[in-house]
Chains A and B, each alone.
Chain A
Amino acid sequence: MQIGILALQGGYQAHANCVNALGVSTRFVRKKEDFTDIDGLILPGGESSTLLKLIETFDLVSALKDFQAKKKPIYGTCAGMILLAKTVVPQQFSLGAIDISVARNAYGRQIDSFIAMSDAIESPDFGCAQMECVFIRAPRVQSVGEGVTTLLRYRAEPILVRQDHILAGSFHPELSQDRAVHQYFLAMISAS
């Protein structure tokens, strides 16, 4: 198994470290040809306006859409979640891969960034009752569509959601010690 990590800008190295620590190899994805031979893709956090600019300039939109059409798992964190969302507020281009509406920087500026424990986790899939979540200038999930399952919540709001082969979260598990979300994503790939 090899996991691609979109390495245009942002926390790509931190994600690679997490996946590598779980014994799985990674490949940095910067060009169309890097999409071959990967079984899943992580879209890291960073600045979504920068990511969009680079994705458009280097013509990666069709490569991303093709990858998604093959039903291969994709996991987006923070800016990565914004890229995957169907609707973004304020309006900007996105892949529309998961039926959620996301507001950018909705928790405020850096001074409002925070670390908190998630609400109690009902699903046994994560092997823990609660999870530490790091929110940095985080986006907020405003609404989720019918086909979307909410896996984690913070103060009753969705922070990790899944629709089929797409996983999206507003927090940064790559900045915590707990590998449960990365393990969950790897299990999604194994099952696909």
Chain B
Amino acid sequence: MSEHALRLKTGLAEMLKGGAIMDVTNAKQAEIAQEAGAVAVMALERVPADIRVQGGVARMSDPRMIKEIMSVVDIPVMAKVRIGHFVEAQILQALGVDFIDESEVLTPADEEYHIDKMQFEVPFVCGARDLGEALRRIAEGAALIRTKGEAGSGNIVEAVRHMRMLKTQIQHLKTLSSEALNTEAKKLRVPDALLRWVVETGELPVPNFAAGGVATPADAALMMQLGAQTVFVGSGIFKSGDPQKRASAIVKAVTYYQDPKILAEISEDLGEAMVGISISAIPLHQRLQDRGN
């Protein structure tokens, strides 16, 4: 991948900062999301909460549906491919989607390899639970990292865990000697140069967003205060009582995340939030975050 290509990819991620990216399953929902102020939409056939309930193999969405969504909104359109399914990615690139999410929400197509994202012109976002996973995805060419959280759970606890883990590990790196960094790079299975970049700058070399379990404006603001630069909202909006109002409140929450008075106003009277599930109630084999490593 050329240096230009990488800068264009992270450049788009840069422009998405301070925003809310929303899962939508049809053109109507995409319009609602754009009208509410979403910076981008994620086009998919079933939101994670439904994938969780209905089971079966979850795949890339029907191109027709993605095209319909691309035709009704001006904001960037993202879509998901299965981990390792580089042909689904080729198809999405051919459709002209603006960002591809190589996502654990869909059923993995390859248990050994992720997509070689350097081979694509379209930027990729990937999920991570910790620093090692984040840097492995960046080494493969991801232009944007998001926490995995636990998609479709309506429970923020895993996203918080993943964001805190990343920050703690970065702090820890700064205390290490140069020799210890070599060993740490091997332990994390990441390129030494990438790890040293993180030590020098104190952050990931690409933007860092939050995802997986955001259901309320307070959840969104929590992730922003913990250091996320933008928030993905999956099932949280269109599985709630008043999607329009909640979407608009979450957009405001990511801008005014440091202002409790505004957060109080926008959190008022939003109707039913999605029900959500306790993480301990999810059998281990149904945990989406453990897919891909």
Contacts and interface: CB of A to CB of B under 8 A. Distances in A.
Are A and B part of the same complex?
yes
Interface of A: 7-14, 30, 45-47, 49-50, 53-54, 57, 78-79, 90, 104-105, 109-111, 113-115, 134, 136-137, 172, 175
A111 B122 contact: yes
Contacts of B255: 7-9, 30, 54
17 contacts: A7-B255, A11-B15, A12-B17, A13-B17, A30-B255, A30-B259, A46-B17, A46-B39, A49-B74, A50-B251, A54-B37, A109-B98, A110-B12, A110-B122, A111-B121, A114-B8, A175-B11
B14 interface: yes
Nearest to A104: B74
Contacts of A172: 11
B63 interface: no
B7 interface: yes
Contacts of A136: 8, 11-12, 15
B36 interface: yes
Nearest to B20: A50
A108 to B, nearest CB: 8
B271 interface: no
Interface of B: 4, 7-8, 11-12, 14-19, 34, 36-40, 74-76, 93, 96-99, 121-123, 248, 251-252, 254-256, 259
Nearest to B254: A9
Contacts, number: 102
A25 B207 CA distance: 24
Residue among B11, B19, B74 with the most chain A CB within 10 A?
B11
Contacts of B97: 109
A115 B98 contact: no
Given A54-B252, A110-B99, A111-B121, 10 more contacts: A7-B18, A8-B255, A9-B17, A9-B254, A46-B18, A47-B75, A50-B19, A109-B76, A109-B96, A137-B76
